[in-house]
Amino acid sequence: MSYDGVILDVDGTVVRGEQLLPGAEAGLDALAERGIPRLFVSNNPTRPPTAYAEKLRRAGVDADSGEILTAGASTVAYLGRHHAGETVYLVGERGLREQLENAGFDTVVAGRHGNPERGVDVAVVSIDREFDYDTLTTAARTIRSEELPIVGSDPDAVIPAADGDVPGSGAMIAAVTGTAEREADAVLGKPHAITRELALDRLGCDAGDCLVVGDRLDTDIALAAETGMTTVLVRSGVTDDARIERSPVTPEYVVDDLSGVAAVLDGTAPRYG
């Protein structure tokens, strides 16, 4: 089969932590041999494209920043469209704060000591590895008292790490929205439509001519829902057969690891189910 572009998840599909996953090299080679432009799309909001490209290079993947799209970028793009010129109240880490500030957003980081000293307009909630009870209390009170809309950077409740799965942005978003008794106005990254739009624009292809490969049903595969994209789920990350059977999201193909994409491209892979 012929495709004009491929959206590739990173963590759980190409790498786990800093290590290249089995089958990843063969899968990337198969795409390169067929001349299919690739875009690595990650729900990690903390690293800019340059840092993510360096992570891939350390794992043995020759990537550059132009091939990277992150949840940080989709968060910045969404805020630029819906909250331009506003002050961001951030529950998150320095990496996302720097991306927001580099895009021109005045950013106030959630602290432990009551409401922020200057006015804020929109709350952004993301992964924060120093997140604790006091931060949660202050953030929820600030969001309620200032009546802030809530924007989540990405929905990943757990993320794969070298020594096992760990909490991701979705865990912090759930805690903050639950305590503030508010729904998030938007949760960016995959599968939000703005991420799909940015990815297809970067690849320069139509949805029907694009392949999507990832290890998550609710983000990677759901990104392609009702768009005509071809979806391939890899079992090398967080999803096993039991999760596939329970999920309302169904991939077109299921392979053990990224090397299985070659059979999809050749038209020899069986469709799932």
* pLDDT for the residue 112: 58
Pair 107, 173 in one domain:
yes
Q: Kindly state whether residues 110 and 165 are assigned to the same domain.
A: yes
* Residue pLDDT tens, the chain, 273 long: 789 999 999 999 999 888 999 999 999 999 999 999 999 999 999 989 999 899 999 999 999 999 999 999 999 999 999 999 999 999 999 999 999 999 999 999 987 555 666 789 999 999 999 999 999 999 999 999 999 999 999 999 988 777 777 899 999 999 999 999 999 999 999 999 999 999 999 999 999 999 999 999 999 999 998 899 999 999 998 888 888 889 999 999 999 999 999 999 999 999 996
| 242 assigned to some structural domain | yes
Q: Is residue 176 part of a domain?
A: yes
- For strand 19-20 and strand 15-16, is the pairing parallel, antiparallel, or unpaired? antiparallel
Q: Which of 187, 212, 238 is the last residue of a domain?
A: 187
In this structure, is residue 105 part of a structural domain?
A: yes
Kindly report the pTM of this predicted structure.
Answer: 0.92
Spatial CB neighbours of 85, under 8 Å, sequence gap ≥ 6: none
- Looking only at the bridges linking them, the beta strands covering 164-167 and 158-161 are antiparallel
Whole-angstrom distance, CA of residue 39 vs CA of residue 103? 22
Determine the Cα–Cα distance for residues 41 and 154; give it in Å rounded to an integer: 12
Residue 3: φ, ψ to 5°: -135, 150
Residue 142, in any domain of the structure: yes
Task: Please indicate, yes or no, whether residues 232 and 144 belong to a single structural domain of this protein.
Answer: no
Tally of domains in the chain: 2
pLDDT of residue 17: 83
Residue positions counted in the chain: 273
Boundaries of domain holding 255? 5-43+190-266
The per-residue b/e assignment along 60-79, b for 16 or more CB within 10 angstroms, e otherwise, is: ebebeeebbbbbbbbbbbbb
| CATH number where 250 lies | 3.40.50.1000
Cα separation, 217 vs 224, whole angstroms: 10
Token readout for 176 is 């903050």
On whether both 93 and 126 belong to a single domain, the answer is yes
